[in-house]
């Protein structure tokens, strides 16, 4: 089985896993369940649960508790996209080739769906306690998930991003935004996988640094694609950063310098990952594919 076939198989497994943890669309609050499920099942790379799974494999422990965390991280990511697309944020009408949640269900229901997914993610992650003989590891991972999601992680990055929209932004500020807004959930994914896989604290800290560099490279590549790709290829509008007056590495430093940044962060992540005494060739290939993607 080649890499592409293995990737499709693993993503297919993640799709099945996600569906098993999503709420049934019934009852008086059926509409919110429909909006939540529409948001999560919109397709995508399933990058975060995939990285979590592969980091767990990297360190060798079975990690039976990982399923709820894989579903939870994708719910949190989907929640952030629902809110990002809102008229008060990026005002995007398409994502992954179809109408965004607020366009389909209304702005009010989209806000509630984003909120609901965020809370439901932690309810889902807590189900890992029922699957483990290491509740200490599950507790540690819930702490990681909360920290990397909240004001010291993704939401903190989003806050600074919103406040600086349309204003002069330094490279230091942009780096801060990217490390939190994009990098934090990637860090959570890889760290949780490492912890559940049996990594020690030093190894988990190294994985966090790798994920941080991967997150920066991934986001800068996203900036590049926003000015070089098409809506058909990306499944969402291009040029939205310019439309929303957002500074990016491309607008700050130019296209070629941004490409060099992607290369530099990628090499640093690859070198750090290679310093571990264990290897996962699929994980190495996955990271390379993600940060050199064209869509």
Split at pLDDT 50, 70, 90, the class of 113 is: very high
The reported pLDDT for the residue numbered 62 is 82
Mean pLDDT across 29-42: 97
A 10 A CB-CB count for 182 gives: 24
Asked whether the CA dihedral 178, 180, 185, 187 is positive or negative, the reply is positive
What does the alpha-carbon distance between residue 102 and residue 92 come to, in Å, rounded to a whole number? 9
The string of pLDDT tens digits covering residues 89-101 is 989 999 888 999 9
The secondary structure of 215-254 as a DSSP string is HHHHHHHHHHHHHHS-HHHHSS-SSHHHHTT---HHHHH-
Q: How many CA atoms lie within 13 A of 295 on its CB side?
A: 12
- 74 pLDDT above the threshold of 80: yes
Residue 21 is encoded by which pair of tokens? Answer: 């943890």
Query: Who wins on pLDDT, 236 or 36?
Result: 36
The reported pLDDT for the residue numbered 244 is 56
- 251 pLDDT above the threshold of 90: no
Q: What is the share, in percent, of the chain residues with pLDDT greater than 70?
A: 94
- 115 pLDDT above the threshold of 90: yes
Split at pLDDT 50, 70, 90, the class of 152 is: very high
Residue 37 is encoded by which pair of tokens? Answer: 């499920």
* Dihedrals phi, psi of 95, to nearest 5 degrees: -150, 130
Asked whether the CA dihedral 203, 74, 8, 182 is positive or negative, the reply is negative
Eight-class DSSP state of 130: G
Mean pLDDT across 48-67: 93
Residue 168 is encoded by which pair of tokens? Answer: 């002069």
Please choose, from the candidates 163, 181, 177, 190, the residue with its C-alpha nearest in 3D space to the C-alpha of residue 252.
177
């Amino acid at each position: 089985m080649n890499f592409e076939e293995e990737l499709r198989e693993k993503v297919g497994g993640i799709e099945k896993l996600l569906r098993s943890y999503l709420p049934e669309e019934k009852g008086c609050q059926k509409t919110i369940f429909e909006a939540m499920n529409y948001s999560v099942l919109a397709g995508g790379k399933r990058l975060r649960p995939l990285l979590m799974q592969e980091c767990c494999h990297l360190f060798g422990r079975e990690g039976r508790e990982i399923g709820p965390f894989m579903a939870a991280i994708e719910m949190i990511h989907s929640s952030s996209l629902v809110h990002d697309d809102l008229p008060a944020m990026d005002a995007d009408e398409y994502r992954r080739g179809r109408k965004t949640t607020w366009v389909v269900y209304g702005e009010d229901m989209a806000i509630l769906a984003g909120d609901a997914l965020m809370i439901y993610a932690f309810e889902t992650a807590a189900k890992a306690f029922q699957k483990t003989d290491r509740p200490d590891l599950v507790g540690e991972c819930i702490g990681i998930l909360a920290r990397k999601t909240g004001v010291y992680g993704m939401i903190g990055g989003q806050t600074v991003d919103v406040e600086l929209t349309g204003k002069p932004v330094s490279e230091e500020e942009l780096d801060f935004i990217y490390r939190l807004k994009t990098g934090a959930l990637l860090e959570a994914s890889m760290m949780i996988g490492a912890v559940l896989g049996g990594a020690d604290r030093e190894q988990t800290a190294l994985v966090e640094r790798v994920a941080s560099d991967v997150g920066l490279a991934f986001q800068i590549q996203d900036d590049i694609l926003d000015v070089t790709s098409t809506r058909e290829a990306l499944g969402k509008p291009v040029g939205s950063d310019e439309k929303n007056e957002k500074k990016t590495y491309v607008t700050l430093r130019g296209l070629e310098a941004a490409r060099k940044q992607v290369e530099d962060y990628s090499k640093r992540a690859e070198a750090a990952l290679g310093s571990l005494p264990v290897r996962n060739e699929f994980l190495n290939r996955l990271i390379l594919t993600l940060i050199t993607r064209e869509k």
